[in-house]
């Protein structure tokens, strides 16, 4: 080799290794299938019925602060969901029923005639603030299998509450 002369190194053209190509195809396929599945799930969802409701201050069984959302559903029946805490919920929250501890609240189906039926399921709120409309979703079930599912928009009523 002479000093001072440049001799380029000959390299073959760059090729992806077969293993890297296989991983790239798998990742791309997973992304495409996940995207298709996600958008198909969006199309299949039925919009939830929005029920007008009312919300009132209430008292927990131990005379603590609480609130109750009343949702008229059908034939004079009303879903009454009592939450045993102050109506000052800043973050999204979901309550599950029945509440074995009896510390979170309860959900009942109030019928025009007969005794109230306990409900199982969930009620969720993005936030609750007294004086502002309260929105939420519910998915509840009676012991006989009757399902109530939808969303609600509750307006505050100004009924006086005296706990204790």
pLDDT at 157: 92
Tokens 């290794």 identify what position?
17
Helix (H, G, I), strand (E, B) or coil at 3: coil
First to last CA, the chain: 102
pLDDT at 46: 60
The enclosing H or E element of 135 equals strand 134-141
Spatial neighbors of 148 by CB under 8 A, at least 6 apart, are 73, 79, 109, 119, 121, 138, 139, 140, 141
pLDDT at 11: 65
Question: Per residue in 134-153, pLDDT tens?
Answer: 999 999 999 999 999 999 99
Question: Per residue in 108-117, pLDDT tens?
Answer: 999 999 899 9
Question: Per residue in 2-61, pLDDT tens?
Answer: 566 666 666 666 565 667 777 878 888 888 888 777 776 665 556 668 899 999 999 998
């Amino acid at each position: 080799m002479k000093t001072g002369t440049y001799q380029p190194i000959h390299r073959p053209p760059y090729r992806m290794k077969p293993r890297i190509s296989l991983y790239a195809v798998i990742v791309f396929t997973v992304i495409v299938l996940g995207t298709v599945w996600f958008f198909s799930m969006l199309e299949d969802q039925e919009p939830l019925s929005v029920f007008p409701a009312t919300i009132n201050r209430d008292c927990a069984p131990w005379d603590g602060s609480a609130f109750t959302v009343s949702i008229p559903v059908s034939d004079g029946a009303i879903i009454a969901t009592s939450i045993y805490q102050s109506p000052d919920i800043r973050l999204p929250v979901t309550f599950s029923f029945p509440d074995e501890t009896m510390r979170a609240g309860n959900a009942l189906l109030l019928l025009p005639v007969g005794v109230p039926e306990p409900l199982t399921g969930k009620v969720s709120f993005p936030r609750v603030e007294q004086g502002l409309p309260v929105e939420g979703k519910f998915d509840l079930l009676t012991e006989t299998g009757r399902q109530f599912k939808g969303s609600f928009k509750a307006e505050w009523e100004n009924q006086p509450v005296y706990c204790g």
